[in-house]
Amino acid sequence: MAVGQVTSSTRRTARAATAASPVRNPELVPDGERGRYIVRTVEELEEWLSRPRPPLVDDLHRLDGDIVVLGAAGKMGPSLVRLVSRALREAGSDARVIAVSRFSQPGSADPIRAAGAEIHRADLNDDDAIAALPDARNVIFLVGAKFGTAGDEAATWATNTYLPGRIAQRYAGSRIVALSTGNVYPLTPTGGGGPSEEHPVDPVGEYAMSCLGRERIFTHFAGVHASPTALIRLNYAVEPRYGVLVDIASQVRAGQPVDVTTGYVNVVWQRYANEVIVRSLLHADVPPFVLNLTGPETASVRDIAHRFARSFDTVAEFTGAEAPTALLSNGRRCHGIFGYPDVPLDQLIDITANWIDADLPLLGKPTKFDVRDGQF
């Protein structure tokens, strides 16, 4: 049997466990039959994503003031809010975590509130709502528009560039960590290890240009208001319900050809990404602290697809041929400051394969990592 292959018995065991398995405490749950690592339920995944590690707890013990998370109901927001809420409790801090979003989906605020965060409902397109935001010494800005932005460029710029200026003025003098994207870099040679933070930016398409605009606006107001700021260029966070690995795995399992024109990617475990975002509050500076947040590998899309095919007892099919360039980032600075991601790529592939094969819930939000013209 090929390395990484899942037997039919393993699949039956994983599916049966999803209905009744309790939330478990170990970092990863070993599958008794093969010793591979799997996550069996949504509850287990949510617990793992929100379980703080000692470096985060130590940093939050040193941080003063409340934390406001803007955009708390997005893909990363709920797990980040729960993570920081638990870490503050473990640090013995009485600081508040205030989660801000419209929370338009029924029940979306409930697990965040249950974790100990305060809920503040607000439409950040409204000036009065921005003025009424709670004061805080620390701000984490997760708001952004990407998908569906082609053909709606004006709204994209309003969200990604104009809104950051309003937030920077509302929280003048506070520490601000703003989530950015590796899309501010150009496509670069796949054998070069990806751009470092000093690499010239050259965004492709209006979405990426508007994200560079976000960085420029936060940088401007950092200087105007002496607001310590960090700009986090993320590329790409993954967990078993969404991300580049889910996109590839879903195509392989469905027998669809995987386009390998964009033949190489960077991915990083979402809890590690959230940890770095929160811990960057202590690195915020004027001018801003800039950080590429990604994994250490330049990962081959073709190789990842073959790994999933072995797990699904099938054969991966492909279309296109690897281009000499891709959207990549070099995470060396991040790993030097915050350590390497605690869940490496091989384990992320295993976890995702088992999740997909057990038909567990997905978010249904493709990353479109293979788009090369910047049109999302």
pLDDT for 375 equals 83
The secondary structure of 265-329 as a DSSP string is: E--EEHHHHHHHHHHGGGG-BSSPEEEEE--S--EEHHHHHHHHHHHTTS---EES---SEE---
Tokens of 32: 């008794």
Has residue 115 got a pLDDT over 70?
Answer: yes
pLDDT band at 8 (very low <50, low <70, confident <90, very high): very low
pLDDT band at 4 (very low <50, low <70, confident <90, very high): very low
pLDDT for 5 equals 31
Has residue 83 got a pLDDT over 50?
Answer: yes
Identify the CA nearest to 182 among candidates 289, 281, 294, 276: 294
The secondary structure of 176-223 as a DSSP string is: EEEEEEGGGSPPEETTTT---TTSPP---HHHHHHHHHHHHHHHHHHH
pLDDT band at 152 (very low <50, low <70, confident <90, very high): confident
pLDDT for 31 equals 52
Has residue 164 got a pLDDT over 50?
Answer: yes
Tokens of 276: 């770095």
Has residue 3 got a pLDDT over 50?
Answer: no
Mean pLDDT value across residues 168-193: 97
Mean pLDDT value across residues 176-195: 96
Has residue 350 got a pLDDT over 70?
Answer: yes
Q: Which residue has the higher pLDDT, 236 or 147?
A: 236
pLDDT for 163 equals 98
Mean pLDDT value across residues 336-346: 96
Q: Which residue has the higher pLDDT, 152 or 233?
A: 233
Mean pLDDT value across residues 305-312: 97
pLDDT for 325 equals 97
pLDDT band at 374 (very low <50, low <70, confident <90, very high): confident
What domains are there in the chain, each with its CATH number? 8-47+242-268+298-357 (3.90.25), 52-236+271-293 (3.40.50.720)
Alpha-carbon distance values, 311 to 3, 260, 334 (Å)? 9, 20, 31
Q: Percent of the chain scored above 90 by pLDDT?
A: 83
Alpha-carbon distance values, 267 to 260, 263, 284, 318 (Å)? 16, 13, 24, 20
pLDDT band at 239 (very low <50, low <70, confident <90, very high): very high
Mean pLDDT value across residues 193-213: 96
pLDDT digits (tens, 9 = 90+) for 260-305: 999 999 999 999 999 999 999 999 999 999 999 999 999 999 999 9
pLDDT band at 11 (very low <50, low <70, confident <90, very high): very low
pLDDT digits (tens, 9 = 90+) for 38-61: 788 999 999 999 999 999 999 999
Provide the mean pLDDT of the chain. 90
Identify the CA nearest to 295 among candidates 371, 230, 352, 244: 244
